[in-house]
A and B are shown apart, each in its own frame.
Chain A
Amino acid sequence: MSALAALIRRDISLSWRIGGGAAIGVLFFLTVVVLMPFAVGPDLAMLKRLGPAILWLGAMLASLLTLDRLFLADYEDGSLDLIVMSRSTLELVCLAKAVAHWLASSVPLIIAAPALGLLLNLDGSTMLAVMLTLLAGTPALTLTGLIGAALAVTLRRGGLLLPVLVLPLSIPTLIFGVISAEAATAGDGFGAPFSILCALSLVGLVIGPVAAAASLRHGLD
């Protein structure tokens, strides 16, 4: 088995075991969505209108929740030293960690989204639209978060800094995610925002691993 496959497999099993946090992310997502009707009131029409935005915001915060430990846990127990010493290219290692995080933490959020959509009075086509846009957009969230997670290792106590660093970078993803979900529901003008959303994920794919690896190399010292 190749080195990167072993790493992805380990990270996924770590995040689903005790103390892993993937399940916490889903629970957090549920909590955010359940709290919303209490905040905005039980107006079904309004909830339906806000629904895609609420789901997107919840998914974004939930995926951020598990990101700060992405490299920090490996740094604290010495695993990162051995990973840096290994023959695997650090950029590919960062990409593998992002893939593992997306599979373990974001995919469950995408699967949970329609169930939570029921709480917000969303109809079938809107739920489908939210799922599709989350599928296209969450890689961008993970990959920008990857940079923040690597910086969290470099900067001591960077864990607290992570949301402040990563959330502003995630604003474009949020905007185009919600716009394309709403456009899909309205049945009009879906193509353009959805293409930009996909483009954001692809840009993240190029920049994220390289920037994270550079940060780790610089910061491990």
Chain B
Amino acid sequence: MAAAKTLTGNAVSCIRGERKVLSNLDFLVSTGEALAVVGPNGAGKSTLLRLIAGLVTIASGTIKLTGGDDNLTLAEQAHLLGHRDAIKPSLTVLENVAFWFDFLGGDRGQSDPAAALASVGLGHLGHLPTAFLSAGQRRRLAIARLVALKRPIWLLDEPTTALDAAGQATIAALMTAHLRDGGLIVAATHQPLGIAARELKLGASA
């Protein structure tokens, strides 16, 4: 079992287009915990995830991970599942997962992209061009990237969008397994995640 990790946000503020989206936000997530970020549209849920991923400049405050790998930045230890799902329509389903697996430094000896596809229920579609997938199948494919390559932090933006009941159960099971392995999850969501999670309420912006 890896050392306990803690992701802490301290007085985090963020300004987007001269509007203060987040102000003085504190949060804390530890190993094995899921944090559900809830709030109305425009409350800054996605912005918070992008802040943790290092894709948006932080105006003030700090976000840091303790107990992680000191040689890697926070972003390098996190998976981001956003609205834009980083899927290329002209590549096949398997090529999409395999590219991210190789690019993000996956080791073929330890893990296999094809097995990740099977775990999200797309094992039989590996050779189909992604353009033919439905919205829910695309979502499953995006999730397969998270499963293929282990990273301790999952940043999920509306993970259950477009998924059917079986798909929601699948991702709930995958999230549970990830938490049990010592991972942690921050998820922005409007729907119940299907797993036990602490809530972080973001108010409508002032």
Q: Which residues of A contact B (CB under 8 A)?
A: 1, 3, 5-7, 10, 13-14, 17-20, 76-79, 81-88, 220-221
Q: Which residues B23-80 have CB closer than 8 A to chain A?
A: 50, 53-57, 72, 75-76, 78, 80
**Contact B54 A85, beta carbon cutoff 8 Å:** yes
**Contact B103 A86, beta carbon cutoff 8 Å:** yes
**Contact B78 A85, beta carbon cutoff 8 Å:** yes
Question: Top 3 A-B pairs ranked by shortest CB distance?
Answer: A78-B84, A6-B102, A17-B90
Q: Shortest distance in angstroms between B202's beta carbon and chain A's nearest beta carbon?
A: 20
**Contact A88 B83, beta carbon cutoff 8 Å:** no
Chain B residues with Cβ below 8 Å from A86 are 76, 103-105
Say which size band chain B's interface belongs to.
20 to 34
Q: Which residues of B contact A (CB under 8 A)?
A: 50, 53-57, 72, 75-76, 78, 80, 82-91, 95, 99-100, 102-105
**Contact A85 B76, beta carbon cutoff 8 Å:** yes
Q: Give the nearest-CB partner of A6 in chain B.
A: B102
Cα A16 to Cα B71 in complex, Å, equals 38
Q: Shortest distance in angstroms between B98's beta carbon and chain A's nearest beta carbon?
A: 8
> In the complex, which of the residues B56, B85, B90, B103 contacts A221, with contact meaning CB atoms closer than 8 Å?
B56
Q: Shortest distance in angstroms between A83's beta carbon and chain B's nearest beta carbon?
A: 8
Given contacts A85-B80, A220-B55, contact A77 B87 (CB under 8 A): yes
**Contact A82 B83, beta carbon cutoff 8 Å:** no
Q: Shortest distance in angstroms between B156's beta carbon and chain A's nearest beta carbon?
A: 13
**Contact B91 A81, beta carbon cutoff 8 Å:** no
Chain A residues with Cβ below 8 Å from B72 are 87
Chain A residues with Cβ below 8 Å from B83 are 78
**Contact B86 A79, beta carbon cutoff 8 Å:** yes
**Contact B54 A14, beta carbon cutoff 8 Å:** no
Q: Shortest distance in angstroms between B80's beta carbon and chain A's nearest beta carbon?
A: 6
Q: With A1-B102, A13-B91 given, can you name 20 additional A-B contacts, CB distance below 8 Å?
A: A3-B103, A6-B103, A10-B88, A14-B88, A14-B91, A17-B91, A18-B90, A20-B90, A77-B85, A77-B86, A77-B88, A78-B86, A81-B50, A82-B86, A83-B103, A85-B54, A85-B55, A86-B103, A88-B103, A220-B55
Cα A6 to Cα B105 in complex, Å, equals 10
**Contact A77 B56, beta carbon cutoff 8 Å:** no
Q: Give the nearest-CB partner of B85 in chain A.
A: A78
Q: Give the nearest-CB partner of A1 in chain B.
A: B102
Cα A72 to Cα B88 in complex, Å, equals 13
Q: Give the nearest-CB partner of B72 in chain A.
A: A87
Chain A residues with Cβ below 8 Å from B85 are 77-78
**Contact B90 A82, beta carbon cutoff 8 Å:** no
Q: Shortest distance in angstroms between B14's beta carbon and chain A's nearest beta carbon?
A: 10
Chain B residues with Cβ below 8 Å from A88 are 103
> In the complex, which of the residues A13, A17, A81 contacts B55, with contact meaning CB atoms closer than 8 Å?
A81
Q: Give the nearest-CB partner of B74 in chain A.
A: A85
